[in-house]
Amino acid sequence: MKRLVSALLLLGLMASGVSWAQDGGSPLAPAEIPGEALYIPYPVAITLDGDLSDWAGVPVSVVDRGPSPSANPAENGSFTVAVAADSDNLYIAMTMPDRNIITGQHGSEYWNEDSLEFYLNLSGDLATRSYSDTIFQVNINAGDIGNTDPTAITITGVNGSKAPVQAFVFKTDDGWGFEAQVALNGVVTPTHGLEIGFQAHANGASSADRDVKLIWSNADKGDSSWQNPSVFGRGIFFEVGRTDIPVPALPEEPVGFEMDDADWSALVRASWEGYKQNYIFCGENCGNNMGLVFDPNMGYQAVSEGIGYGMLMAVLMNDPLTFNTIYDAAYQMMLDPETGLLNWRIDNTGTITGFGSATDAEEDIALALIFAEKRVERSEWTQHPERAYGEYANRWIDAIYEYEVADGRYLTPGDDWAGEGQEILNLSYFSPAWYRIFDDFQGTTRWQPVITYGYRTLYVTDGARLGLAPDWSTSEGGPAYDYCNATGRPLDACKYEMTYDAIRVPWRIGLDCIWFGDSRACDWSKRSARFLNTLPPDQFARMYDMNGVSVVDYQNELMVAMWLVAAHAAEDTALENRLGELLYGYAGSVLESGYWSGTSQFYFGQSLAWFGAAVVSDDFRNLYAEP
């Protein structure tokens, strides 16, 4: 109701709007309701030529607000946007003051430098939170200044390649801008009072990376339009010459998100396809597709962690070809024949760059091999011709237990860590659900002490009361700084905080609750859920110290996905919906481009986002237990 009332109150101000070419006659439409709705006069004759004189009388919005405004009016300090139409096309013009234009420095990621964006929702469903074929993000960058062919423009953004857009990009006295034409193709016919979803953004870079973000719509407070069309404002068609002013039919109250609002399985499948394209079969960067899982952020090296992740994803996605590709490549290139475990890092020429094993990777590989064996037993897969999945799962489990379990109780971080397993532990490697399957698969009980002592350590850490685990600790739950000092390990790599290692604990512990109903796992997940429910929005679903204070000033897809598993395990529906909405907000590029959030640069974040989504979609299921 507040938004509607504010709209009505502002109607009286509409006659004072700004337009280009002020001497060009009377306004053709009312001025905007700032950040809520703008009026689109029609029919208006526009030619794409960089000359804005034919925009005379079209209302212009001036925007200087957003999550990252500029301190310098002359350098990305604001942008202007205007919209008009004829019977067949929509026209958008935008300009921005920009004394130092930055372009061509980030490949196709034009959002990270000087660029202007408009967003259209022509679907008729203005409350939708997901993109469809008639919802577009159109990013136009300054690199096309001087291109005189409107049909040869570079368009990026969600569904941008599908948008029927032509544009002319030009310099101005104080910066640059564009005018664009979008063919409506009968999807929408301009009619007085008809509403569409509309949004406009500006990205500014003063030297290198983007440091300015301006947004027209009041509803988009955190740059989420590329993920969530429901935060667009409204564009309202206004027939030139009419005197009645349509009032926007904005919803009085937002509709709460529920997990069923998203097709999680579709997102999981699409992001698996993108994962393969970006990290396994990415051509020269991936060692000419040698079959490992490569990390762009590490100069396209591959780590054993990624082998475990990739094999788990492949078997859960019923993708035997990719599973065998990773399995074969890792065995042939990364195996240490003395231990039967993988060396932890290799570059894309096949050279080992990190010797010794990482326990979490080996555990995930062993579980993936067990799951693959079960698919063979159910006649879903054909057995590997050289290394039978079940046989090698047994070998892998035996090697893990021999080289990475100390004193039959303590899970060590790898095969070459000094001490007896009590001096330093990584609780994000602790995977009790895996160990139950190992024992059952081999007919043993030797993993039960590992489970017992792992939970014991978890529950005596300083963050246990809040359901928070540290990256590194001793077996007694305290900081492992003495070990790090004694071995020369940097203290920054020995954190007693929940950051990029321990953020995985909610996932690994949550699955022990979901799959096996372990009371300790379920209690831990509930502690995490209770803690999250106490937090203000600017501290929610992040990384924390052991007192529950956020140690980062941002949130991303991997944090949200891991906490989502905790909420799911805790059966906290309200929290799960809240986190699900956040994760869904990071899915804007998944269906089209195959990756979560705004970039595919970080394989680790993509992996954890996939795991979280796969848990709630039931794609991350216990294949060992399935009939």
Does 287 lie in the same domain as 241?
A: no
Token pair 């600017």 is at which residue? 538
Does 276 lie in the same domain as 204?
A: no
Among 68, 101, 70, 96, residue whose Cα is nearest residue 81: 96
CATH of the domain at 321: 1.50.10.10
User: Looking at the domain assignment, is residue 303 inside a domain?
Assistant: yes
Does 170 lie in the same domain as 48?
A: yes
Q: Is 592 exposed, middle or buried (0-12, 13-18, 19+ CB in 10 A)?
A: middle
pLDDT score at 136:
93
pLDDT score at 102:
94
Does 63 lie in the same domain as 26?
A: yes
Boundary of a domain, candidates 200, 233, 255: 255
* Residues in the chain where the model's pLDDT stays below 50: 1-17, 21-23, 252
* Pairing outcome for strands 341-342 and 335-336: antiparallel
DSSP codes joined into one string, 470-504: -SSB-TTSS--HHHHHHHT--GGGS-SSBSTTGGG
Boundary of a domain, candidates 255, 277, 293: 255
**Both tokens assigned to 241:** 């010459």
CA 593/CA 159 separation, integer angstroms: 9
CA 508/CA 541 separation, integer angstroms: 17
User: Which residues have a Cβ under 8 Å from the Cβ of 404 and sit 6 or more positions away?
Assistant: 341, 357, 359, 362, 411, 412, 413, 414, 415
pLDDT score at 292:
98
CB half-sphere exposure, 376, CA atoms < 13 A: 16
Is 210 in contact with 112 (CB distance < 8 Å)? yes
Does 228 lie in the same domain as 216?
A: yes
User: Looking at the domain assignment, is residue 60 inside a domain?
Assistant: yes
Does 246 lie in the same domain as 112?
A: yes
Count of the separate structural domains present in the chain: 2
pLDDT score at 250:
62
CA 228/CA 128 separation, integer angstroms: 8
User: Which residues have a Cβ under 8 Å from the Cβ of 329 and sit 6 or more positions away?
Assistant: 290, 291, 292
Does 345 lie in the same domain as 197?
A: no
Report the predicted TM-score, pTM, of the whole model to 2 decimal places: 0.72
Does 400 lie in the same domain as 387?
A: yes
User: Looking at the domain assignment, is residue 319 inside a domain?
Assistant: yes
Does 230 lie in the same domain as 262?
A: no
**Both tokens assigned to 258:** 């529920």
Intra-chain end-to-end CA distance of the chain, in Å: 53
CATH of the domain at 56: 2.60.40.1190
Range of the domain at 293: 257-406+600-627
Does 177 lie in the same domain as 231?
A: yes
